[in-house]
Amino acid sequence: MEYVIEPPATPSLPVGGGAGNANAGADARFPVRRIYCVGRNYAAHAREMGHDPEREPPFFFQKNPDALLPSGSQFPYPAASRDVHFEIELVCAIGAGGSGIAASGALDHVWGYAVGIDMTRRDLQGAAKKLGRPWEAGKAFEHSAPCTPVHPAGAVGHPAEGRIWLAVNGEIRQEGNLKELIWTVPEIIEQLSALFTLAPGDLIFTGTPAGVGAIERGDVMTGGVEGVDTIEIEVA
Ligand code: MN
């Protein structure tokens, strides 16, 4: 078979060996098929966005895999926005697919974990919300998914508690704990796999704690999830 144009490269992330051991994977890569994101999954963040966390089931949106940006890279300030926000998130990497996965067995489908930032053109997202339109312009733009290497669950376990934080220029802006997740990783996989067939290579950004805010050119974002990894991205 011959393609009529050069086929695009498979997006991928490096594989790490656990927190503080990012190079252990050598040349190994985790290929990425889809990126799912969970909306409003920490109560305090749902409230800061004007919603009642007690009443809303989880909902999902997607980013494109080619929007991944490795930790240590520069994030080019995107076009068409003047209000670009950070959202630090635990990222779950799927190693075994399926649909209709029960929460009780969901962790068997997880290959590992990473730390990501769900970069958001908040002004475009806000306009879309107001008009009842899709969120792609706010969420799925180029470089909108900075992410660390993926660490195998064998090295980092299945983190269900631990500090999650983000600082801008050294000043803490987001601070939370994984145990505050409204929907846990197994519950997210159960709900997501009721809507879509999950497959190896899927990433799930699991939601952000309170404190989201805007960045400007020249800012340096650092963040992390205790026991998983830390991420650093400079805004260019
Ligand atoms: Mn998010």
DSSP annotation string for 21-50: -TTTTTT-EEE---EEEEES-BHHHHHHTT
The residue among 215, 22, 211, 182 whose CA lies nearest residue 115 is: 22
> How many A from CA of 88 to the centre of ligand 1?
7
pLDDT of 22:
52
Report the C-alpha gap between 91 and 89 in whole angstroms: 6
Domains in the chain, number = 1
> How many A from CA of 208 to the centre of ligand 1?
5
Report the C-alpha gap between 168 and 196 in whole angstroms: 35
> How many A from CA of 1 to the centre of ligand 1?
40
> How many A from CA of 38 to the centre of ligand 1?
6
**Token code pair at residue 65:** 């895999």
In a domain, 1, yes or no: no
The residues pairing with 146 across neighbouring beta strands, listed in sequence order, are 69
Task: With a cut of 50, list the residues of the chain below it in pLDDT.
Answer: none
pLDDT of 57:
84
Q: Is 175 helix (H, G, I), strand (E, B) or coil?
A: strand
Q: What letter does residue 208 receive in the DSSP assignment? A: -
pTM score of the predicted model: 0.96
Find the CATH number of the domain harbouring 64.
Answer: 3.90.850.10
> How many A from CA of 61 to the centre of ligand 1?
9
> How many A from CA of 20 to the centre of ligand 1?
25
In a domain, 6, yes or no: no
pLDDT of 27:
82
In a domain, 7, yes or no: no
> How many A from CA of 4 to the centre of ligand 1?
37
Which domain range does residue 170 map to?
12-235
> How many A from CA of 6 to the centre of ligand 1?
33
> How many A from CA of 201 to the centre of ligand 1?
19
**Token code pair at residue 85:** 């926000």
Report the C-alpha gap between 14 and 235 in whole angstroms: 22
What would the pLDDT profile of 100-134 be if each residue is shown by its tens digit?
999 999 999 999 999 999 999 999 999 999 999 99
- 203 neighbors 32 (Cβ within 8 angstroms): yes
In a domain, 177, yes or no: yes
In a domain, 78, yes or no: yes
> How many A from CA of 76 to the centre of ligand 1?
19
DSSP 138-167: HHSSTT-EEE--BEEHHHH----S-EEEEE
Q: CB atoms < 10 A from the CB of 193, how many?
A: 21
**Token code pair at residue 233:** 């991205």
pLDDT of 96:
98
In a domain, 4, yes or no: no
CA atoms within 13 A on the CB side of 234: 5
- 59 neighbors 225 (Cβ within 8 angstroms): no
In a domain, 5, yes or no: no
